[in-house]
Structure 1
Amino acid sequence: MNNRISCHLITWGNDLLTGMKEASELGFQACETFTHQALEYENRVEEFRELLGSYDLELSALYGGGRFSDPSKEAEVIAYNTRVAQFLSKLGVDRIVFGPGGPREGKTSLEGLKQMAKTINEAAKRTYDLGVLACVHPHLGTELQDEDELDAVMEMTDDRYVFFCPDTAHLTAAGMNAAEIIRRYGNRMRYMHLKDLTPENPDPSVFTAFSGTEALPIFCELGLGTIDFVPIMQALQDVGYDGWLTVEIDQSTSTPYQSLKQCRDFVQDKLGISIRYR
């Protein structure tokens, strides 16, 4: 497979420089960062480009999104994602992840899904005009979590502008078959997160990313959890997906460095993809 491998620096929290340094030391050539950290360089784009270059890294994407289903936030969400895309465009980066808003308040209603599609369509058109492709990312604990919600949003959004970012762990924990979803929407895939689920398989309802409380992480390093990546990788091959695969570990079970090393070794030794692509 000819996919380019990236890694998310979420595991290092606010220590962006250490994250870049250690990812580079492990051989990674691309990363995704917290958006608020990147936007600190919004008016110093060349400085951020040089910072990435000093670690031989490029930026694969940034996470945008917002509360798409809330009509009162429509203009705000569109403006924010346009702002992020403007920054990405100046850097020459062509992917933005549309993360849905949380916390989840039960199933999203049909009216909410229609509003979500409306806002996503408009925001995606704005980012597309800037040369940045918007990739919808179903996410536990948010307004877009379940398979029927995903299907509705994908059906109601414009496939000329709105693309798809599956996350192996979020799809699986929400009860979906990740390989099946990849086959269903493979023609719209433009980005992907690789993540594993803990062997304990904790109830996704305890997912606390939006509450700020401490809980057992439901995600873990690649190869240490319960997800079978063989059918997932076969599905990617079947749909001809050759884009970014971004390793993401929300919370390390050891140290960020060791966690990323585990993921690096799994990607190279088990999935057969070199993390070095240039």
Structure 2
Amino acid sequence: MSTVLDRIRVGSAPDSWGVWFADDARQVPWERFLDEVAEAGYSWIELGPYGYLPTDPARLADEVDRRNLKVSAGTVFTALHRGPAVWESTWEQVGRVASLARAMGAEHLVVIPSFWRDDKTAEIIEPPELTTEQWTRLTRGMERLGRAVRETYGLGIVVHPHADTHIDTEKHVERFLDATDSDLVGLCLDTGHYAYCGGDSVKLIETYGERIGYLHLKQVDPEILADVVANGVPFGPAVRRGVMCEPPTGVPALEPVLAAAQGLGVDLFAIVEQDMYPCPPGKPLPIAVRTRAFLRSCGA
């Protein structure tokens, strides 16, 4: 019998419709995403790449309201390990996303560290390991960002460990959490990315539960992942191979992750994000419907 997951608020995101960029001819139009995410039975969404959904708050509010949708978060990419020189450009991007998220009633800003590989060409553009000085810049920068976002926009930041970034493996995630102030910096645990990088989501929730402020639900195909790891395949090509797969066919099992999250005793968003860029336009909706039914069977 499944646990009643009454603290878990389930949603989905443009990512589950193959959307990685604000504007790309291979992606479904935003109207279709909104229609289909509502049809699939989700009530919460994320903004996705800034500019994919309408950025005028009144228009976006009208579009989501009439589909009975609500916005849980916006997302930004940052390169704070590069130090104070990038603060101004980072804050400009954060301001656009955070103000729209706040206007939509969201309380969270998902912060993804910059890739050390180019997300389109897969070229390695920075060393995968940070120096001690870069770690300090990253952790202090995230604390500064957390404070500024809260003071200016009333949102909490949740940092998203991600494949091909400097916050990826268990070792890096723990180092990051141990070096940052829990009052300023939360964690967005993405179950798929953490498994992709060798981490155990249930263990992380049990060990650092007070830091978990948000969840992304996804799974990896263990066979494809083994090949990806063995051959050093970059994240983008790995996604095109189908490394992120439809639940419940992959790992980690989501039932114990959701039960551990419920056990924290706090309200948490659990946003489905099945990376599928690019994908045929008819592919996402049936998967989204089945995934929502599966999560209901888990009690969410």
| Normalised TM-score (structure 2) | 0.83
Within 5 A, what are the aligned runs for 1:1-278?
1-2=5-6, 3-10=8-15, 11-13=17-19, 14=27, 15-37=29-51, 40-41=54-55, 44-71=56-83, 72-104=85-117, 105-129=127-151, 130-202=153-225, 203-204=228-229, 205-209=232-236, 215-251=240-276, 255-269=283-297, 271-273=298-300
CA-to-aligned-CA distance 1:188-222 (integer Å, 9 cap, x gap): 2221100011142322542333xx79840210111
Q: Please identify, of 224-233 and 44-53, the stretch whose mean Cα deviation from structure 2 is larger.
A: 224-233
CA-to-aligned-CA distance 1:32-56 (integer Å, 9 cap, x gap): 1323235751xx2111111111211
| Offset of residue 243 of structure 1 | 1.1
> 2:24 corresponds to which residue?
none
CA distance in 1, matches of 2:93, 2:147: 13
SS of the residue corresponding to residue 245 of structure 1 reads strand
Cα gap change, 1:214 to 1:84, in 2 (>3 Å): closer
Give, as a single letter, the amino acid of the residue that structure 1 aligns with 2:224: N
CA distance in 2, matches of 1:233, 1:91: 26
CA distance in 2, matches of 1:140, 1:158: 23
CA-to-aligned-CA distance 1:141-183 (integer Å, 9 cap, x gap): 1121122221222122221121111011111111111101112
CA distance in 1, matches of 2:144, 2:160: 17
CA distance in 2, matches of 1:175, 1:214: 17
CA distance in 1, matches of 2:47, 2:221: 23
CA distance in 2, matches of 1:161, 1:54: 34
CA-to-aligned-CA distance 1:108-135 (integer Å, 9 cap, x gap): 2222211111211111111111211100
Q: Please identify, of 60-69 and 231-240, the stretch whose mean Cα deviation from structure 2 is larger.
A: 231-240
Bigger relative CO (Cα 8 Å, ≥ 6 apart): 2
CA distance in 2, matches of 1:230, 1:56: 27
Between the two proteins, the alignment pairs up a number of residues equal to 268
Cα gap change, 1:259 to 1:234, in 2 (>3 Å): same
SS of the residue corresponding to residue 98 of structure 1 reads strand
Flag as ranges the 4+ runs of structure 1 deviating above 6 A: none
| Normalised TM-score (structure 1) | 0.89
Normalized per residue, which structure has more strand? 2
The question of whether the paired residues in 2 share the 8 Å contact of 1:12 and 1:19 is answered with no
Across the aligned residues of Structure 1 and Structure 2, the Cα RMSD in angstroms comes to 2.1
The question of whether the paired residues in 2 share the 8 Å contact of 1:61 and 1:97 is answered with yes
Gaps of 5+ in 2: 20-26, 118-126
The question of whether the paired residues in 2 share the 8 Å contact of 1:138 and 1:150 is answered with yes
CA distance in 2, matches of 1:75, 1:217: 37
CA distance in 2, matches of 1:73, 1:31: 29
| Offset of residue 28 of structure 1 | 1.2
CA-to-aligned-CA distance 1:221-259 (integer Å, 9 cap, x gap): 111213222331232133224311101111169701011
CA distance in 2, matches of 1:143, 1:199: 22
CA distance in 2, matches of 1:156, 1:77: 21
The question of whether the paired residues in 2 share the 8 Å contact of 1:166 and 1:192 is answered with yes
Cα gap change, 1:144 to 1:214, in 2 (>3 Å): closer
Gaps of 5+ in 1: 274-278
The question of whether the paired residues in 1 share the 8 Å contact of 2:206 and 2:260 is answered with yes
The question of whether the paired residues in 2 share the 8 Å contact of 1:207 and 1:218 is answered with no
The question of whether the paired residues in 2 share the 8 Å contact of 1:186 and 1:241 is answered with no
CA distance in 2, matches of 1:125, 1:48: 27
Q: Please identify, of 164-173 and 83-92, the stretch whose mean Cα deviation from structure 2 is larger.
A: 83-92
The question of whether the paired residues in 2 share the 8 Å contact of 1:82 and 1:126 is answered with no
